[in-house]
Amino acid sequence: MRIVFLMPSYYPDSFGGAERQTRILTRSLRDRGAAITILAPTLRPDAAGVVEEPEGRVVRLLMRNDPALGGRYVVSMLHFWIRALLWLARHRRTYDVIAIQHLRLHAWPGIVAGQLFGKLLSAKLGRGGAHIELRRLPAQKLPFGKLVVALARRSRLVFVANSSEIAGDLADLGIPASRVARVPNGVECPPEPRSAFSAPDGARVFVYAGRLATEKRVDRLIEAFRIFAADQPATLRIFGDGPEKARLLALAAGLPAVRFMGVTDDRDAIYGDAAFMILPSDSEGMSNTLLEAMAYGAVPIITDVSGAGDLVVSGRSGIMLAANTREGILEGLFTAARLDPAAWGAMSAEARQRMCEKHAIPVVADAYLRLYRAMADDRLNRVPPALGRGIGDTDPGLSAHGGR
Give the dihedral of Cα atoms 357, 392, 311, 194; nearest 10 deg. Answer: 10
Name the nearest CA neighbour of 162 among 1, 395, 350, 366. 395
Residue 46 neighbours by CB under 8 Å, 6+ apart: none
Name the nearest CA neighbour of 226 among 197, 211, 248. 248
CB atoms within 10 A of CB 202: 8
The DSSP symbol for 325 reads S
pLDDT value at position 194? 74
- The rounded distance, in Å, linking the Cα atoms of 62 and 22 is 20
pLDDT value at position 381? 52
The DSSP symbol for 1 reads -
Name the nearest CA neighbour of 205 among 264, 249, 255, 258. 258
Point out which residues pair with 278 in neighbouring strands.
301
Q: The dihedral of CA 110, 114, 119, 124: what is its sign?
A: positive
Q: How far is CA 48 from the centre of its chain?
A: 24
What is the set of domains in the chain, with CATH numbers?
A: 2-186+361-402 (3.40.50.2000), 204-358 (3.40.50.2000)
pLDDT value at position 380? 59
Q: What is the pLDDT along the chain (404 residues), one digit of tens a residue?
A: 999 999 999 999 987 788 989 999 999 999 999 999 999 999 999 999 999 999 999 999 999 999 998 888 999 999 999 999 999 999 999 999 999 999 999 999 999 999 999 999 999 998 888 888 999 999 877 799 999 999 999 999 999 999 888 999 999 999 999 999 999 999 999 887 778 888 777 789 999 998 899 999 999 999 999 999 998 999 999 999 999 999 999 999 999 999 999 988 888 999 989 999 999 998 776 788 899 999 999 999 999 876 677 888 888 999 999 999 999 999 999 999 999 999 999 999 999 998 998 899 999 999 999 999 999 988 655 444 444 333 333 344 443 333 32
- The rounded distance, in Å, linking the Cα atoms of 195 and 352 is 10
- The whole-model pTM stands at 0.84
Q: Are 84 and 4 in contact (CB under 8 A)?
A: no
